[in-house]
Amino acid sequence: MKITAVSAVYPNYRNVPASWRTHFWQIVVRVETDAGVIGFGYGGGGRAAVEVVNRHFAELVLGRELNSVDDISAIWDHVYAESLPYGRKGVAVMALSGLDLALFDTLGKAEQKPVYELLGGASKGNIRSYATGPDQPWYGELGFSATKFPHRWTEDADYDSAIERATIAREAMGDDGLVMIDTYMSWDPTVTTRMTELLRPFNIYWFEDVCTPDELDAQAQLRPIAAPVLIAGGEHEFTHFGFQEIARSGALDLWQPDITWCGGITAGLRILDVAAEAGIPVALHRGGEVWGLHLIAASDCMDLAGDARRRS
C-alpha cells in the first residue's frame, strides 16, 4: 500500500474554550492510499500547521510505502529530518503529530485491526478515567473517583481559592479518590512551595505545569519540596529528544506528553522508552481521546486518562 495524497484542514470550531486563541486549535490530517483506504489524525498548531502539512509534508510522503509500524517510523524520521531547519518543536511537530496519527489510523483500517493491536496488543484490562474541569460535585455524581481542576495564579487571594477548590474536590471524590491541580504554567517556585504547605490536608496527587517548560532546574528543585505531591508536566514538550532533556535535568516526577502535539504515537513510543530508562511514570495529556486510549492500552503508560467534562 502506498500513500497517494495527504491533506489537512482546520475545522470551524463553534465551541472553542475562551482561553484558546481561535487560530491555534486542533487540525485534522487526512491520508489517502492506492488501496482506497483513508485515515485521519488529529494535530495541533491551527492554521499554521495546516500550511505545513499541505505545502511541505504532503510532498515528502507521496508514494511512500505504508504497510507496517516500521514504515510509519521511517516516515516520521524522514519528515522530522526534512523539517529540522524550521521544526524540532512547536508548530511543525504538532503538524507531524496529526500526520503520524493519520498513518496509524490508515494502517489499522487496512489490516482491519484496532491501533492497539498494531502496537502489540492490550497490556491492561481497564483504564481509569479522571474528569477535568471546574465542576467536581457533578463529576462525583457521575461516578468519577478522580478529578483535575484548573487553578490560575493571579494574586495572593488565589491561595484562598485553591483551598476552597481543593476542599470541594476532595469532598466530591472521597478520601480514596485522586485530586490533581492544573496550574497551566501560572505558578512559580514561591507559589508552589506555599501551595504545598496549604494543601497538605487534601492529599493532592499532582501539581501540573507549575512552571514554563523552559524552567527545568526550578521544577527539579521543587520535587523534594512538594513531595509526596508529584510535579507533573510535559504537555508542552516535543519528541523524545525534548524528554531526554527533562530526564537529564530531573525536572519532573511524572511525564504528560500529548501525542496530538509531541509527535504522534511514534514519538509517544519513543518517549515511553526514555521514561522507562529514567524510571519515570507517564500519564498522557488528553489520554481520553481516541488515539491516546490506544497507546495507553498497549503500553506502559499509567492506566489513567483525562476526560474533559462540561455541563451542556
| Mean pLDDT for the stretch of residues 275-296 | 97
Look at residue 312 and tell me whether its pLDDT is greater than 70. Answer: no
Task: Check residue 309 and give its pLDDT.
Answer: 76
User: What's this model's pTM, rounded to 2 decimal places?
Assistant: 0.95
* pLDDT tens sequence across 56-81: 999 999 999 999 999 999 999 999 99
Share of the chain above pLDDT 90, in %: 91
Write out the E strands in 92-177: 128-132, 146-150
Look at residue 205 and tell me whether its pLDDT is greater than 60. Answer: yes
| Mean pLDDT for the stretch of residues 110-130 | 96
Task: Check residue 21 and give its pLDDT.
Answer: 55
Domains and CATH numbers, the chain: 3-112 (3.30.390.10), 128-308 (3.20.20.120)
| Mean pLDDT for the stretch of residues 112-139 | 96
Q: Is 132:148 a contact under the CB 8 Å cutoff?
A: yes
Peptide bond just before 228 cis, omega within 30 deg? yes
Look at residue 14 and tell me whether its pLDDT is greater than 80. Answer: no
Give the residue numbers annotated as catalytic, written as ranges.
Answer: 285
Dihedral over alpha carbons 66, 241, 149, 24 (to 10 degrees) = -60
Q: Could you give the angle at the alpha carbon of 224 between the alpha carbons of 200 and 226, nearest 5°?
A: 25
Cell of 218: 526550578
Look at residue 121 and tell me whether its pLDDT is greater than 70. Answer: yes
Pairwise CA distance, residues 117 & 296, whole Å: 12
User: Higher-confidence residue: 270 or 155?
Assistant: 270
Q: Is 228:276 a contact under the CB 8 Å cutoff?
A: no
- Cβ burial, residue 295 (10 Å; 0-12/13-18/19+): buried
Cell of 263: 509527535
Task: Check residue 125 and give its pLDDT.
Answer: 87
* pLDDT tens sequence across 257-275: 999 999 999 999 999 999 9
| Mean pLDDT for the stretch of residues 14-20 | 60
Task: Check residue 168 and give its pLDDT.
Answer: 98
* pLDDT tens sequence across 91-100: 999 999 999 9
* pLDDT tens sequence across 37-54: 999 999 999 999 999 999
Task: Check residue 15 and give its pLDDT.
Answer: 64
The single-letter DSSP state of residue 10 is: -
